[in-house]
Structure 1
Amino acid sequence: MALVTGANQGIGKEIAKKLSEKGIKVIGTSTTINGVKIINQYLKKNGFGFVLNLKDTDSILEKMKEIYKKNYSIDILINNAGIKSDNLLVYMNSREWENVIKINLTSIFYMSKSVIRSMIKNKYGRIITIGSVIGSIGNRGQVNYSASKSGLIGFHKSLALEVASKGITVNIVAPGLIDTQLTKKLNILQYKKHLSNIPMQRLGTTKEIADAVMFLSSEKASYITGQTLHINGGMYMP
């Protein structure tokens, strides 16, 4: 069974749909009841959605305990949910910093910790987190977002080392600029500026990100761990 956070829209929705199409039962999370309705609608009988507040660590632990009490076993964890709260450092307040770190980084610790014992017991597991190119190159006005996505790299490398002998792989998919609701809010000047930094001269698609996640969650990627797979049209080449 797979669990996908932030599965009501964008990249998370595309990933959950692809997993479901492969016959994998999916649990999708959203922060709202309406989001859960969307998840239940497209998953139909091959999974379900539930409300999860990733800022509330107690809530994460309680919800995950409920899942395991119902005898659901999470073999694939997709940490997709994330937020932005952009501001220059001189204007950034503590709430803008803490909310982004809590959801984009701290929640990954709690989500991964909640599934890892079961994966070790089963001697199988896939943990895949959606990072960002910004974690590697930085960006003005995003010290909080960049720090959270950069922190994921060290977390995943260390966890990969801890569980590599247990049949568990731990990887990151780091998108560049992807065609989602967020990019649709760009005006024409912003759009052209971003496009000028992408050698392929186009935005990526949610399908391209989901395809990479599907590969990393499959047996074909069983010898890949501790890696960050960059999907950005050439705007960053490590």
Structure 2
Amino acid sequence: MKKKVLILGGSSDIGLELANLFINKDNYNVNLHYNSNYKGVKKIDKSCNLIKADLSYYNYKNILKKFDDNYDIIINLIGFINGKSFEKFKIESLEKTLRINSFIPLLIIRMSIKKMIKKKWGRILNSSSVGVKFGGGNQTFEYSLSKHLNEFIPSYLKKIADKNVFYNVLRIGLTDTKIHKKILNKDLIARTKLLPIKKMATSIDIANYIFYLSSNENQFITNEIINITGGE
């Protein structure tokens, strides 16, 4: 039977690369969540199920209805950035960032866990950012705080490891994506020089690591915060 995969934030550069990795295997049923970037996801193979959902709404119940409770693999790649510094953030914008990047993905993950335990198989991967290590940047305080929240691993998830339900967090470093190029407006050349490895990751680099951790190939890694940051 095919494993049912949900990729939250699937229209991101990494999400699209990851979706293709799963689609190219015969034993996965891929479900790709997106908000507004239909231009990106429409290029994906038609066998992929697209789920349009704006997670900024306050009505959690209506949002959760868009998602199943029977996923075998859940990967949270949502990366909403509000562009606020610590000095300028407002409680409303902070709450919105936390809701989109952390709260709702956690509720979606919780919905499927009981069935994962019953099937004695499940893989969950949450995403964090190297910005957590440095307390966020001038435009990424809210984003980095939400990613710091994603690094919290509830003790309950440790207790179900013997049920073959694995939960990991990937702390992602500087990657050659649209977010870094356009939204954050970074000097990527100067930023890359700060990395011991002296190069950015590519989207496929990150997608390959996620695929391994989220597939049956991963038989022993769980409850870990894994850095993929070029040695930073």
TM-score using structure 2 length: 0.88
2:141 to 140, 143, 147: 143
2:110 to 85, 100, 113: 113
More helix by share: 1
Structure-2 separation of matches of 1:40 and 1:123: 34
Name the structure 2 match of 1:12. Answer: 15
Q: Is the Cα–Cα contact under 8 Å of residues 6 and 75 in structure 2 kept in the other structure?
A: yes
Name the structure 1 match of 2:189. Answer: 192
Amino acid at match of 2:120: K
User: Unpaired runs of 5+ in structure 2?
Assistant: none
Question: Cα distance, 1:8 vs. partner?
Answer: 2.0
Structure-1 separation of matches of 2:144 and 2:22: 28
Say which SS state the counterpart of residue 160 (structure 2) adopts. helix
Amino acid at match of 2:44: Y
Name the structure 1 match of 2:35. Answer: 31
Name the structure 1 match of 2:174. Answer: 177
Question: Cα distance, 1:152 vs. partner?
Answer: 1.3
Name the structure 2 match of 1:91. Answer: 88
Q: Is the Cα–Cα contact under 8 Å of residues 55 and 102 in structure 1 kept in the other structure?
A: yes
2:219 maps to 1:222: yes
Structure-2 separation of matches of 1:152 and 1:220: 24
2:151 maps to 1:153: yes
1:62 to 50, 62, 65: 65
Root mean square deviation, CA, Å = 2.0
Question: Cα distance, 1:6 vs. partner?
Answer: 1.5
Question: Cα distance, 1:174 vs. partner?
Answer: 1.5
Amino acid at match of 2:146: S
Say which SS state the counterpart of residue 129 (structure 2) adopts. coil
2:49 maps to 1:52: no
Say which SS state the counterpart of residue 217 (structure 2) adopts. helix
Say which SS state the counterpart of residue 165 (structure 1) adopts. helix
Amino acid at match of 1:198: L
Question: Cα distance, 1:41 vs. partner?
Answer: 3.9
Amino acid at match of 1:98: E
Question: Cα distance, 1:183 vs. partner?
Answer: 2.1
Structure-2 separation of matches of 1:145 and 1:8: 18
Name the structure 1 match of 2:203. Answer: 206
Question: Cα distance, 1:38 vs. partner?
Answer: 4.4
User: Unpaired runs of 5+ in structure 1?
Assistant: none
Question: Cα distance, 1:198 vs. partner?
Answer: 0.8
Amino acid at match of 2:168: N
Identity %: 28
Amino acid at match of 2:166: T
